[in-house]
Amino acid sequence: MTTTERKEHHGGPVTEDLVIVGHSPHISSNILTTRRMMLDVMISLLPVIAMALYAFRWHAAKQMLICVVVCLSAEALFVRLRNKPFSLSDGSAAITGFILGLSLPATAPAFVGVIASLVAIGIGKIIFGGLGMNIFNPAMVGRAFVMIAFAGFMAASGYEDAGLMVDAISKATPLNAFKQMGVVTPIPDLFWGLTNGCPGEISALACWAGGIYLCLRRTASWEIPAGMIFTAGLLGGLTDLISPSPVGWTVIHHLLSGAMLFGAFFIATDPVTSPLSPIGKFIFGAGVGAFTMLLRFFSGYPEGVMFAVLLMNAVTPLINSWTIPKTMGET
Amino acid sequence: MSLRLKGFAGSGTFPRGVHPPERKHFSNDAPIEPLPIPEKVLLPLQQHIGAPCKPLVEPKQLVSYGELVGKSEKLISATLHAPVAGRIQKMAVTTLPNGRHMQAISIKVEGDQLEGDALMEDIFGGDWPTDIADRYDPLDITGAIAEAGIVGLGGAAFPTHVKIVPNTMKPVDTLLVNGCECEPYLTADDRLMREAPRPIVSGALLAARSINAKTIIISVESNKAEAIEAIRRAAAGTGIKIAVLTTKYPQGSERHLIKAVLNRIMPLGGLPADVGVVVNNTATMAAVARAVIKGKPMTHRVVCVTGAGIAHPKNLLVPIGASYRHLIDHCGGLTSDIARIISGGPMMGFAFTDLSMPITKGTGGVTLLTHEDVKHSNETTCIRCGRCVDVCPMHLVPAKLAQAAKFRNIALAEKYNIAGCMESGCCAYICPANIPLVQLIRMGKAMVAADKKNT
């Protein structure tokens, strides 16, 4: 991993012949490296994964395993097809796998995970030129594909499996229950994660724990979750004021349910597909938050994070272009 | 460390920037000592920004210590003086660490020399009064500086008499003395402030008199407690204010210093005088005092030889023109794990290999780094994380500038204001992907400049 060029000293006086020139700066920070950032994401996902395994047992384990293995294989295969250098060691394909595994219904059949992973890596990433080149969040591309192709496994009924041991997942997801039946899930359940949903999104607490770690490490930019949660909270709060839900579904429910927090901390923060400047990042987050709420209020889908992220990914180059910072001293 | 700066318009810091490990410990406890007289010195004819000097001496001629040997008729230039007594040799040609190739006057040491304690006494000793500035005419101060061949000793080497001059076009209210030394490792200014604060104070008073500045502020980073104390004592009763600034890179950049202390924004492509300020390095102020009060030219400077790559790090009083080899030998030689020799500090300095090159007026330090110090992980693709944007002290988007350079996209480079880059190195220092951003941006700048020339 480290540079190998080095002239060895073999006895005798030390002379300047041992010296290699280079350009400034001659020192570099090792606090953040691309690999370390990927490792940080893994670490931050631990509470989320733990919660997923607690609630969905082997269903969640199976779904994550399928996605990670297929993502890694797809990356290896496609990169080989393109005659590009081996890229599994950067860890990004594994992260796509984990995020995807955590955002598909745990009980969805295996082929759904396989296809989602192939699409995520193949169409979401490699087609654009691999890591750093893709426009859309790969995991969300994969998820969107299966969401439309296999609506039955991905929509409301996909989550409900009466044969499961854990009580929570025999019920509808909080957003479905609210949208279809007007049933409001208690806030403590949303907070701790005792509800149905995608394995990664159920526990608000786990998302906050991992998310705060990511932001403190500066691996994720805090501006994105801040923009997203602020805007979603604002729109949710305004709705509560103008036309409160008759059954008592409030902005707090909105913020704690569905993929709002998982999306804010782990999906929208993908650096490759989000803007460069701090202000751009906030605008991006705000856009994701706003579109999520619009989709939740007005679309046929109960949840909107995935489409909101993809939509904002598409306008990221525009945001970058709008938010070029003013050079210091420029008039 | 964050501290609010009291009594100044600025906050004591500037937005963005980085804080690399300071590594001042290698040499900040080593008192300034005179370098033994070398056998010869090599004086490049252009050690400064501006026109090169013309030699005033012939080969085989004898010169005395401090004698004028080079001069230019142009305003923006600096005179050259013999730092030793000796005999002029055939004109030589040398390359400086920054890549400039030029003629140089070579002097072989001959005859009685001022050395050791006597030299230290000659440079730093004697009286440095603080109540005499009014006795000098502002233009005489400028004249003495020009005759002494003083240039900015912080590294840029801009001729000082062009800056310290009564300016009727752009009135100046503040003289800002720069004792930040924000580059990691370097300690020459720190030691000078600790050991010779009085010439710095005298020089500042003289310079302020010349430019008619009502306010004098000496600014030092918070990591130099002893220097701050020494300057405070020496400046007591003179009305000079001391600004203790947050330790952060590039705090010593003129633009960022003005922002941190005075909360004024220097226009891009402008000069400090545009916002009523003149900025000078502490060592430059000491040289000004010596030139004006004692009539002595700029022949020596303090050079810090530091890093894990040198046996005994030191701060040396060096005659201009001594070879890097002479300094390194005096410091016990290179260590066996030496990896890089840098003229200047590790953030903006130039790496070089030819130790026969001479120390010039702008050389503040030699940093010697080991393999451990320069170790970095391999370059990976840009994941557009934006860490470079977070740290760029000029508020640019380095990732985009590098991308523009890589794909030779001149329009993109200009859209993102590539000319605004000061090459501080903050972006490349922080980059998780280890992309040589500064290198690419320099390429981009050259590309844009070439394009301008062609159209």
Res B6 pLDDT > 90: no
pLDDT of residue B1: 41
Residue A58 pLDDT more than 90? no
Residue A28 distance to chain B (closest CA, Å)? 4
Q: What is the mean pLDDT of residues B154-162?
A: 90
Q: Does the structure show a pLDDT above 90 at A159?
A: no
Arithmetic mean of pLDDT, A250-269:
92
Q: What is the pLDDT of residue B316?
A: 96
Average pLDDT over residues B27-47: 94
A5 has pLDDT over 70: no
User: Residue A29: its chain B contacts at CB < 8 A?
Assistant: 18, 20, 429-430
Q: Average pLDDT, whole number, for chain B?
A: 93
Residue B100 pLDDT greater than 60, yes or no: yes
What region, left, alpha or beta, does residue B306 occupy, with left being phi > 0 and alpha being psi -120 to 50 degrees?
Answer: beta
Q: Is the pLDDT of residue A87 over 90?
A: no
pLDDT band at A1 (very low <50, low <70, confident <90, very high): very low
Phi, psi of B54 (to 5 degrees): -105, 135
**Which residue is listed with tokens 């010349």?**
B210
Give me B389's structure tokens: 């944007």
pLDDT grade for A197, boundaries at 50, 70 and 90:
confident
Identify which of A294, A274, A296, A257 has the alpha carbon closest to the alpha carbon of residue A222. A274
Closest CA to B311 of B292, B330, B284: B330
Confidence of residue A248 (pLDDT cuts 50, 70, 90): confident
Q: Mean pLDDT across the stretch A170-178?
A: 75
Query: What are B388-398's pLDDT values in tens digits?
Result: 999 999 999 99
- Between CA B432 and CA B386 the distance in angstroms is 10
Q: Which of A177-186, A272-281, B57-66 has the lowest mean pLDDT?
A: A177-186
Average pLDDT (A87-109) is 89
Question: Is beta strand B277-281 parallel, antiparallel or unpaired with respect to B174-179?
Answer: parallel
Express each pLDDT in B311-364 by its tens digit. 999 999 999 999 999 999 999 999 999 999 999 999 999 999 999 999 999 999
Number of Cβ within 10 Å of residue A244's Cβ equals 11
| Predicted local confidence at residue B210, as pLDDT | 94
Task: Establish if B437 touches chain A: CB-CB under 8 angstroms.
Answer: no
Token pair of A211 as six digits: 């998310």
pLDDT for A115-138, tens place per residue?
999 999 999 999 998 888 999 999
Beta bridge partners of B342: B351, B367
Say what the alpha-carbon torsion angle B36, B42, B44, B47 is, to the nearest 10 degrees: 0
Taking contacts as CB-CB distances below 8 angstroms, the residues of chain B near A22 are 340, 351, 374
CB contact under 8 A, A34 and B378: no
What pLDDT is attached to residue B3?
52
Q: What is the pLDDT of residue A162?
A: 44
Tokens of A243: 């036309």
Q: Which residues pair with B81 in a beta bridge?
A: B68
Q: Are B47 and B151 in contact (CB under 8 A)?
A: yes
Give the integer Cα–Cα distance in Å for B339 and B373: 8
Answer for the pair B323, B330: CB distance below 8 angstroms, yes or no: no
Decide if A21 and B416 are in contact by the 8 Å CB cutoff. Answer: no
What's the complex ipTM?
Answer: 0.89
Q: What is the mean pLDDT of residues B170-190?
A: 95
Task: Report the candidate in B298, B348, B305, B315 with the shortest Cα–Cα distance to residue B47.
Answer: B298
Residues from chain B that touch A278, judged by Cβ atoms under 8 A, are: 386, 389-390
Residues B339, A20: C-beta atoms closer than 8 Å: yes
Kindly report the pTM of this predicted structure.
0.90
What is the DSSP pairing of strand B365-370 with strand B338-343? Answer: antiparallel
B219 strand-pairing partners: B178, B243
Sign of CA dihedral B438, B441, B447, B449: negative
- Asked if residue B157 lies in contact with residue B288, where contact means CB atoms within 8 angstroms, the answer is no
Using CA atoms, how far residue B346 sits from A141, B323, B366, in Å, is 44, 20, 9
Averaged pLDDT, B212-236: 95
B452 touching A, CB under 8 A? no
Quote the pLDDT of residue A165: 44
Write the pLDDT tens digit of every residue in B433-450: 999 999 999 999 999 999
Among partner residues B18, B351, B420, which is closest to A327 by beta-carbon distance? B420
Q: Do A29 and B385 touch (CB under 8 A)?
A: no
pLDDT band at A54 (very low <50, low <70, confident <90, very high): confident
pLDDT in tens, A23-40: 889 999 988 888 889 999
Q: What is the Cα–Cα distance from B32 to B34, expressed in whole angstroms?
A: 7
CB contact under 8 A, A276 and B397: yes
Burial zone of B279 (CB within 10 Å; 0-12 exposed, 13-18 middle, 19+ buried): buried
C-beta atoms of B373 and A271 within 8 A: no
Over residues B282-287, mean pLDDT = 96
pLDDT tops 50 at residue B272: yes
The mean pLDDT of B127-139, rounded to a whole number, is 88
Over pLDDT 90: what percentage of chain B?
86
On whether any CB of chain A is under 8 Å from the CB of B349, the answer is: yes
pLDDT of residue B2: 44
Q: What is the pLDDT of residue B347?
A: 96
Identity of the residue in B376, B384, B433 whose CB atom sits nearest the CB atom of A276 = B384
**CA A283 from centre of chain:** 17
Set of chain B residues whose Cβ sits within 8 Å of the Cβ of A223: none
**Rounded Cα–Cα distance for residues A231 and A225 (Å):** 10
What does the alpha-carbon distance between residue B408 and residue B402 come to, in Å, rounded to a whole number?
A: 10
Average pLDDT value for chain A = 88
CA angle B427–B50–B277, rounded 5-degree value: 65
Instruction: Quote the distance between the C-alpha of residue B279 and its chain's center.
Output: 12
- The predicted-structure confidence for B77-86, as pLDDT tens digits, reads as follows 999 999 999 9
- Mention every residue, 6+ apart, whose C-beta is less than 8 A from residue B221: B179, B180, B181, B182, B244, B245, B246, B247, B248, B251, B252
Q: Determine contact, residues B224/B232, Cβ cutoff 8 Å.
A: no
Q: Are B94 and B44 in contact, with CB atoms under 8 Å apart?
A: yes
Q: What is the predicted pLDDT for the residue at B78?
A: 94
A248-253 contacts at long range (C-beta below 8 A, 24 or more positions apart): A248/A184, A249/A178, A249/A184, A252/A187, A253/A174, A253/A178, A253/A184, A253/A185, A253/A187, A253/A190
Question: Does A185 score more than 90 pLDDT?
Answer: no
Tokens of B290: 């010596």
Q: Which residue is closest to A87 within chain B, CA to CA? A: B380
Chain B residues with CB inside 8 Å of A15's CB? 334
Average pLDDT over residues A159-183: 66
What is the average per-residue pLDDT within A66-82?
Answer: 93
Q: How far apart are the first and last CA of chain B?
A: 49
Torsion sign, CA atoms B344, B345, B347, B353: positive
d(CA B53, CA B360): 14
Lowest mean pLDDT among A69-73, B4-8, B283-287: B4-8
Q: So what's the pLDDT on residue A156?
A: 63
Give me the helix-helix angle, B282-294 and B138-148, nearest 10°. Answer: 100
The answer to whether B335 contacts chain A (CB < 8 Å) is yes
What distance in Å separates the CA atoms of residue A229 and residue A307, rounded to the nearest whole number? 16
Determine the distance in angstroms separating the CA of B368 from the nearest CA of chain A, rounded to an integer: 10
DSSP letter string over B351-418? Answer: EE--TTSBP-TT--EEEEEEHHHH--BPP-------HHHHH-TT---HHHHHHHHHTT-HHHHHHTTG
- Give the residues across from A82 on adjacent strands: none
* Report for A91-95, A216-220, A230-234, A256-260: range of highest mean pLDDT: A230-234
Report which secondary-structure segment, H or E, holds B200: helix B197-211
Residue B448 and residue B413 in contact, taking contact as beta carbons nearer than 8 Å: yes
Per-residue pLDDT, A91: 86
Nearest to B67 by CA among B107, B96, B99, B7: B107
Q: In this structure, what are the phi and psi dihedrals at residue B367, rounded to the nearest 5 degrees? A: -105, 130
Q: A132's torsion region: left (phi>0), alpha (psi -120 to 50) or beta?
A: left
Q: Tell me the nearest-neighbour CA distance from B175 into chain A, angstroms.
A: 20
Which chain A residues touch B341 with a CB distance below 8 Å? 16, 19
- Cβ pair A325:B18 closer than 8 A: no
